[in-house]
Amino acid sequence: MKGRLDPQLVFLVLTNVGILAAGAWASGGVFIDPYNLQSMASQVPELGLLAIGVMLAMISGNGGIDLSGIALANLAGVTAALLVGGMISADDAPLLFSVAFGITAVAVGLAGGAVNGLLIAGSGLTPILCTLGTQLLFTGLAVVLSNGRAVSTGSPAPLEELGNGTFLQVPTSFLLFIAVAALIGMGLRFTPSGIRLLLMGTNPVAARFAGFAQGRMLVATYAISGALAGLAGVIIAARNVNVKWDYGGSYLLIAILIAVMAGVKPEGGHGRMICLLLSATALQLLSSFLNFLDVSNFFRDLAWGLLLLFFLAIIRYDALGALTSRIGWRARPEGAPAAGDAATKG
């Protein structure tokens, strides 16, 4: 396993390089000038964070998925803007406002995610139905709190820096995204909790008999997913100066597409952070490339749909390939070693 390159990773790297090259050629270089690279990089984090949330939920297995991400991100942004904006003036105390805003938004996200986890683990609700329900709940709450209007956060210096600033030519929000992704990726790969999560996703029955605290792990997983949504809410606020309940309605499916393109198995137990990052950037590159070419946005929806089906097929194909080349390795009763394998890949 160690000696063999992951085809998903190779494919994603080639896709990224290919689109960059095609874009550079077609636009006479404008596509890869620093401004566009920065512009594309700063568009990635909001969607990327939501996709990590979806990935974590998928890894937990048992049909795990988080549909409430963008709704929770909007709720977190709206709540934090109203709450913090009501107590602290963004003009008088920009640093205090920004920090309080960030903490509140992430806390709301964490709480919302924990609600998801408690419902799924506690009452055994199917994740897809549960998070569909909480998605509507979160959206509704955001509408009620804000009366359906956009809430302004203003642009206090630290938030402005997060939204528009760069560090060594790299957008700050992108750096934050990479840092968070690295942290979670290492957690998945090196910590006992991370490895247990992969194992639980691979075979929930075995995990139960092995004495895993499944309930607590589910709650923690969905809570982290929620906190990531809250962080996405902070980035949205930092970039747009305003937060609104209906922002990013199309993000839900795109976040799932990023996760599936990254080779995260919908049946659980497998997902690599490096693939997720490359998948998020590939989708952003392709999206910007189509905008550079003035291609109709209806074509984009079609392309997304095709990509989703295509990658689902690849996952299926690879699973089959692995089965035929190494007979017996992935047979269900021995799910645990296969997952341990996945875990070492991180």
Indicate which single residue of 28, 86, 192, 333 sits in contact with other proteins (rule: CB under 8 A).
28
Report if residue 305 touches other proteins, rule: CB under 8 A: no
Under the binding rule (CB under 8 A), the answer on residue 314 touching other proteins is: yes
**Which structure tokens are listed for 299?**
């074509």
Distances, alpha carbon 8 to alpha carbons 172, 262, 275, in Å: 28, 7, 7
Q: Is 30 in the site for other proteins (CB under 8 A)?
A: yes
Query: Counting beta carbons within 10 angstroms of the beta carbon of residue 98, is it exposed (0 to 12), middle (13 to 18) or buried (19 or more)?
Result: buried
Of the ranges 97-105, 133-141, 226-234, 244-252, which one interacts with other proteins (CB under 8 A)? 244-252
Q: Which of 344, 315, 312, 342 is nearest to 330 (CA)?
A: 342
Among 206, 204, 237, smallest CA distance to 105 is for 237
Q: Is 209 in the site for other proteins (CB under 8 A)?
A: no
Q: Is 15 in the site for other proteins (CB under 8 A)?
A: yes
Q: CA nearest 79: which of 108, 103, 99, 102?
A: 108
39 binds other proteins (CB under 8 A): yes
Member of 2, 3, 4, 35 binding other proteins (CB under 8 A): 35
Element (H, E) at 37: helix 34-59
- Per-residue x/- marks for other proteins, 247-266, CB under 8 A? xxxxx---------------
Contact set for other proteins, span 132-171 (CB under 8 A) = 147-150, 152, 163-164
As a whole number of angstroms, the distance between CA 308 and CA 275 comes to 15
The tokens for 42 are 């700063």
Interface contacts to other proteins, rule CB under 8 A: 7, 10-11, 14-15, 18-19, 22-23, 25-28, 30, 35-36, 39-40, 43, 147-150, 152, 163-164, 239-242, 244, 246-251, 287-298, 300-301, 314
